[in-house]
Amino acid sequence: MESGGNSLPSGPDGVKRKVSYFYDPEVGNYYYGQGHPMKPHRIRMTHALLAHYGLLQHMQVLKPTAAKDRDLCKFHADDYVAFLRGITPETQQDQLRQLKRFNVGEDCPVFDGLYSFCQTYAGGSVGGALKLNHGVCDIAINWAGGLHHAKKCEASGFCYVNDIVLAILELLKIHERVLYVDIDIHHGDGVEEAFYTTDRVMTVSFHKFGDYFPGTGDIRDTGYGKGKYYSLNVPLDDGIDDESYQSLFKPIMGKVMEIFRPGAVVLQCGADSLSGDRLGCFNLSIKGHAECVRYMRSFNVPLLLLGGGGYTIRNVARCWCYETSVALGIELDDKMPQHEYYEYFGPDYTLHVAPSNMENKNSRHLLDEIRAKLLDNLSRLQHAPSVPFQERPPDSELQERDENQDDRDERWDPDSDMEVDDDSKPRRRVKSERVEAEHKDAVSAGDSMAVDEPCIKEEQDNLKELSDHSSRRPSLLSSVVRALQPLFRSGGAGPDVISKSIERYIDVSEVVPTASQITIWVIMTTELVSSSLSHLISSQHYHLSSHFLSALLPSSVVQHCWRLYNRSATSLQVVWWWCNVDGGQCDIIGGVLPRRSILYREVLFCAPLVDDT
């Protein structure tokens, strides 16, 4: 195998690319649980296609080194990483409070090997960043990465560790500016949030916006402080096709590259924006999706390609195989070669699939407005920021190892989206490929991050605030009561009930929300819990539908709260309390609620928390 993986000339620039590809054969064994749409097995299917199309011989193929605790803690909180390391399916019933605190449960279940899974996919992304930093390759690929919803202190949207943030932090050790581009159908909220206050990272997300997870990504969300106008959000509607998508992507990204002039680009290639995705509602073809990769490749800037969403797994494998060929500059035959998973791709057995005839709800007028608004925002940036480096920060201690690949599936999901061999475990399917060990890049004895990101410092300050419980309680209670006053209805909960519910939450969770967090309080009384709502709260108390909220409260209040939620909600805890008043007795039932779940898409009702200290 040729070191560095020189590819063929391609694209209008005609420049060869060196590609490093990260793959761990064990990644396909991890299993979120029966019925869960996230299936890591799709990574193995992608690898099988790459092998049988002959693409592996054109790349440097590396097995990533598992990220260590200290690597993950460069972004994530120590206690959260410790929780992920220790939790197992057998012990989770003994840690219910921690499960709620870290938002691990429904969307983000505990499964066998969870922490190893996180270490593997994070190690691939950070390893790719290291390769780019040292000029070993022009493009690095980790299809197991791209889990963009994970936050500093919690899991979210099938994501536990934010490998993208970790990779960007690594790139910032060498590059003054890093660009993050997200073409997943869901907003890249975790990455945007991590770098919302810095001008060294620009985040650009093209996503479905509206009553859709995670509910963030309004075009008006542009960054804060030094990061003002360094967050770009492109909100889209159902059914967008290739032509409409590219009418936004190319002019916006062309202007971004001209003005921001990044030293490296990270492109999250979530495949749930493809037509026919199990959870998606866009209408992109595989070629249309890959055109984004082709376009970003044409700028000749170090490029890290990552995976992400994608829940019709046969199309995910098709997409990432084709996008690997685009990175290499190799054209592939549409007729698929015989391989271990061939039966998954019937009846056509082709690499490409036609988009559907679904309605495109993105009008030309809407697209023109979005493009004009974002180009105007970009025009407000007069020049690319620069950061003087006095000393190069140390590398993360990651080195790829040489191991024999073993492709046996130890855990297999019979609830596949395929109707092929659903009741049997797959055979040893992917032919054996040599995996090279990486020569160790310069490694420092220290673990400290030399990049002092303003956003990371702000998060640390927030955590420090959380430790002072008693001094914050009076301010917290009065602030929440005042914020909720406009939402009271006659006969509804009064300040005493609200105060009791907040006090109980503080006592149980040992956490006091701060003014820097947006805390959402939903107060329900028996007046609101009518028989017509009983089916909604019987098994999941907190899942409410928007039309019930609209019927119970003035539309102006609901709309106001929606604006606050969409513009302000962060990864931090969302709290609700259902106050059931019966015969003078107040039975308070409550819990920590993750922001809207991908699976349930519940609508939250919110009010701002105002600090009066």
Listing DSSP states for 213-253 in one string gives TT----TT----GGGTT-EEEEEE-TT--HHHHHHHHHHHH
Quickly count helices (H) and strands (E) in the chain: 17, 11
Nearest 10 degrees: Cα torsion 189, 111, 410, 312 = -40
Six-digit token string for 79: 């206690």
Dist. CA 193–CA 216, nearest whole Å: 10
How far is it, in rounded angstroms, from Cα 20 to Cα 298? 18
- Cα-only R_g, the chain: 24
Residue 188 and residue 221: Cα distance in Å, rounded? 12
Burial of 296 (0-12, 13-18, 19+ CB in 10 A): buried
For 21, what's the count of Cα atoms within 13 Å in the CB-facing half-sphere? 32
Q: Are 142 and 136 in contact (CB under 8 A)?
A: no
Q: In this structure, are residues 491 and 524 in contact, taking their beta carbons and an 8 Å threshold?
A: no
C-alpha to C-alpha distances, 538 to 100, 286, 493, 541, 586, nearest whole angstrom? 19, 42, 21, 6, 19
Planar angle of CA 419, 420, 422, nearest 5 degrees:
80
Of 36, 52, 149, 187, catalytic? 149
- Coil, strand, or helix at residue 559? helix
**Contacts of range 534-541, beta carbons closer than 8 Å, 24 or more positions apart:** 537/578, 540/600, 541/578, 541/589, 541/591
Establish whether 149 is a catalytic residue: yes
Angle at CA of residue 584, ends 581 and 585, nearest 5°: 65
Residue 417 carries which DSSP code?
S
Residue position matching structure tokens 């829940």: 311
Q: Active-site residue numbers? A: 149
